[in-house]
Amino acid sequence: MGGVVLCKVYSNLIEKKDIQLLPETRKKIEIKVPGENRMLICGIVATILVAGLFFGLKMHLTSLEEQISQINQEIAELEIQRNKKAEKDLLALGERISVASSIVNDHILLTKAFEKIESLLSRQVQVLSLEVSVGSKNIKLNMVATTYTAIAKQIAAFLADDVMEDVVVGKISPGSGGLLEFGMELDLASSKFFKKE
């Protein structure tokens, strides 16, 4: 009798559809968690980015290689067009110019000294002759002046300028036409007119 009661209970339950005995009719209970697939999505995005970066760099590398080969081709064409004789002539000219410029840079700047002496000369004094001694860095002048005062003013003018280090006046003697003849030695400041060694 126990079996009959149990069958009735089962049949009542089945009719009411409270119990599901067959597995294919059961429903799976799913719990959705926000961000569950985040790692998968991040991995896919990272893979796409890396692939895009790789292909972009590969295309850029190909472009650079093409530019390099084009530039190499242009260089080869220029090498063929070179005029080697003209290049040798230009090199020789450059050497000559460097020799000439070293000569010009090392010369004594006497033209500036002459200009300075001329600007310091008084109207009452005339230069008859001059002698330049490069080794001793001085200039000897034979001059004539109208008066002793003109000679004194000339000495003062030379000494007042920083171009002259020293002024030495030689013998003053009366000359022809009432003029006074005298000699003068000017020691030049080497820093103004001479190249430093």
pLDDT, one tens digit per residue, over 16-51 is: 555 555 555 556 666 666 666 778 888 899 999 999
Per-position DSSP letters for 61-114, written without gaps between them: HHHHHHHHHHHHHHHHHHHHH--HHHHHHHHHHHHHHHHHHHHHHHS--HHHHH
Q: Is residue 91 over pLDDT 70?
A: yes
Under CATH, domain 110-193 is a member of which superfamily?
General secretion pathway protein M, EpsM (3.30.1360.100)
pTM of the predicted model over 0.95: no
Q: How far apart are CA 158 and CA 105, in angstroms?
A: 27
Per-residue pLDDT, 71: 94
Per-residue pLDDT, 197: 46
Residue bearing the bigger pLDDT, 125 or 134: 125
Report the relative pairing of strands 125-133 and 164-174 from DSSP bridges. unpaired
pLDDT category of residue 70 using cuts at 50, 70 and 90: very high
Q: How far apart are CA 119 and CA 109, in angstroms?
A: 16
Per-residue pLDDT, 47: 94
Which residues touch 165 (CB under 8 Å, ≥6 apart)?
A: 187, 188, 189
Q: How far apart are CA 41 and CA 35, in angstroms?
A: 10
Q: Is residue 109 over pLDDT 60?
A: yes
Q: Is residue 75 over pLDDT 60?
A: yes
Query: How high does pLDDT run on average in the chain?
Result: 80
